[in-house]
Amino acid sequence: MIQDQQKLTQDLLSLIPNVVREMPPISASETDCLVSTTLCLYDPTWPKSSDDTKISCVPRGNTGTEEKENSLMKLKLLSNEGRQEEEQYGVSTELTLFTDPWTIKKKLTISDRSRQSCLLLNPRTVHSHIVRYLPEVNQKMVQEGSGLTVDVYDHNTHTTHQMLLMTLIRRGSYVLSGGWLMDFVIRRALKTKDEIGMYGDLSDSKLHFCVLSRAPTRVSSGSVVASPSQAPIEVSSGSVAGPSQAPIGVSSGSVTIASYSSLLADP
């Protein structure tokens, strides 16, 4: 019995090479149909009838345009809704490659350099970027009290100065007073139309200050040249020195209005 099974197996194995040799070769057309990268809802090799609806793998002419327009409309609606939420909550979800840190900017006016010794600031901007982040106690000091003492860091000279942030109730504006005239107008030789920038930093509890650009300075020849940088004016107890003028002596040993009135005059 075992011998009969072995003989049958040998007979079957002997037939396999003949079967392989008799298989017809695969044609080039059949090879092309083996793999397809076309995405379609049907197979072209399926049998068809006259009742079958014509199916095409090619998108209809206006389909792509319509879908694109619909997508743009959705994005526009979402964008409008996003803007409304940003205005409501006072936040921004817009992604930018670069954000200007100087959120408070101003070109100095004549009153900012006057003997009132205060810098007038936009109330909406200051409230949005500084005041609303302060503790409630400090907010009341700024808006209702005698003011809040703040440290102001000068990025140009790398020095820190103290000033008073308060509200002018009669005008509804915020002002920086205290050392504004001496520590910034006189020391930095600020002129009308100089542009300054400021921002509040919660990490170090300071206001940051920078002179962004200088106003054009008239020279004797009648031409106008820009002065992007100007050396700060050193102020001592007995003299006031400008960048291009001799020190002005003060006999009393203290700085008076008359001693630096020429520095406040516009060129």
Q: What tokens were used for 45?
A: 């090799």
Confidence of residue 106 (pLDDT cuts 50, 70, 90): very high
- Domains along the sequence of the chain with CATH: 104-264 (2.40.330.10)
3-class SS of residue 30: helix
Identify the helix (H) or strand (E) that includes residue 107: strand 104-107
Q: What tokens were used for 67?
A: 């879908």
Q: How far apart are CA 201 and CA 196, in angstroms?
A: 17
Share of the chain above pLDDT 90, in %: 35
Across 45-56, average pLDDT:
63
Yes or no: say if 240 and 186 are a contact pair by the CB < 8 Å rule.
yes
The C-alpha angle 73, 81, 127, rounded to 5 degrees, equals 145
Share of the chain above pLDDT 70, in %: 47
For residue 194, give the nearest of 180, 179, 210 by alpha carbon.
210
Residue 80 to residues 71, 75, 76, 86, 97: CA-CA distances in angstroms?
14, 9, 6, 10, 21
pLDDT value for 169: 79
Please check the confidence at residue 255 and state whether its pLDDT lies above 50. no
pLDDT value for 92: 62
Own/partner long-range contacts of 246-253 (Cβ < 8 Å, ≥24 apart): none
Q: What tokens were used for 158?
A: 């790398």
Q: 55 or 88: whose pLDDT is higher?
A: 88
Residue 265 corresponds to which amino acid?
Answer: A
pLDDT digits (tens, 9 = 90+) for 136-168: 999 999 988 789 999 999 999 999 999 999 998
pLDDT digits (tens, 9 = 90+) for 200-240: 998 889 999 999 999 987 765 555 544 444 555 544 444 44
Produce one character per residue of 39-53: b if its CB has 16 or more CB atoms within 10 Å, e if not: eeeeeeeeeeeeeee
- What mean pLDDT, rounded, does the chain reach? 73
Produce one character per residue of 4-20: b if its CB has 16 or more CB atoms within 10 Å, e if not: eeeeeeeeeeeeeeeee
Confidence of residue 242 (pLDDT cuts 50, 70, 90): very low
pLDDT digits (tens, 9 = 90+) for 163-201: 999 998 777 889 999 999 999 999 999 999 999 999 999
Alpha carbon 204 to its chain centroid, in Å, reads 20
